[in-house]
């Protein structure tokens, strides 16, 4: 079993501005109710952004490469990189 380290992270460490922009407001509150990992991130003071979510979801994985569409679709919609208009919305 892998022990997660949920400490405050510097959101400036990301390679992409999209990865490091933290979620906030009503969207974040709704996501915390729907996703236990996001709720834990909030509780521990970890900025809720794509990079932090991916690193906590699967510690040690190489997230520098794009996710395949199946994995991308499993992320909360607000953390996905796929454009909404490409998804038929």
Model confidence pLDDT, tens digit, residues 6-15 = 444 443 344 4
How much is the pLDDT for 48? 92
| pTM exceeds 0.75 for this model | no
State both tokens at 36.
Answer: 């236990």
pLDDT in tens, 28-78: 888 889 999 999 999 999 999 998 999 999 888 888 888 889 988 989 988
Q: Which residues contact 8 (CB under 8 A, 6 or more apart)?
A: 44, 45, 46, 47
Per domain, the residue ranges of the chain are 22-87
Average of pLDDT values for 5-26?
54
**Of 18, 17, 41, 15, whose CA–CA distance to 28 is shortest?**
41
């Amino acid at each position: 079993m892998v022990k997660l380290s949920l400490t405050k992270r510097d959101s400036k460490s990301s390679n992409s501005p999209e990865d490091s922009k933290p979620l906030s407001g009503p969207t974040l509150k709704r996501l915390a109710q729907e996703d236990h990992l996001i709720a834990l991130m909030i509780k521990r003071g970890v900025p809720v952004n794509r990079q932090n979510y991916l690193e906590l979801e699967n510690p040690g994985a190489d997230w520098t490469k794009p996710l395949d569409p199946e994995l991308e679709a499993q992320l909360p919609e607000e953390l996905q990189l796929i454009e909404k208009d490409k998804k038929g919305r």
